[in-house]
């Protein structure tokens, strides 16, 4: 969760709805991936990066994700990154 904005305005949009707030998103992540076996190996492909012209230091990253584990899963994502205090952080995660 290091790459996520530690802020109440963080937004995660998934197949089960929208979550706001870093603490809520982190708790949900830990619930679903409570062990390294459940987490498996995460990979990304078909990455595209777009500068959002209206927003300074803001980019959208899209692509495909895959988890290789006992229960393989995968899908697509759209992330919004912003530079926050000289570090790039995810401020919106739309994963399906």
Dist. CA 95–CA 92, nearest whole Å: 10
Average pLDDT, the chain: 93
Dist. CA 65–CA 62, nearest whole Å: 10
- Average pLDDT over every residue of 25-54: 89
How many Cβ atoms from other residues are within 10 Å of residue 54's Cβ?
Answer: 6
pTM of the model: 0.88
Does pLDDT of 38 surpass 80? no
pLDDT digits (tens, 9 = 90+) for 51-92: 998 888 999 999 999 999 888 889 999 999 999 989 999 999
């Amino acid at each position: 969760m290091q790459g996520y904005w530690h802020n109440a305005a963080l937004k995660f949009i998934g197949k089960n709805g929208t979550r706001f707030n870093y603490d809520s998103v982190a708790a949900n992540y830990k619930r679903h991936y409570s062990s390294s076996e459940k987490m498996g190996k995460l990979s990304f492909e078909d990455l595209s990066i777009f500068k959002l012209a209206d927003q300074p230091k803001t980019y959208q990253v899209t692509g495909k994700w895959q988890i290789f584990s006992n229960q393989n899963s995968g899908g697509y994502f759209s992330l919004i990154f912003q530079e926050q205090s000289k570090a790039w952080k995810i401020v919106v995660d739309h994963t399906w």
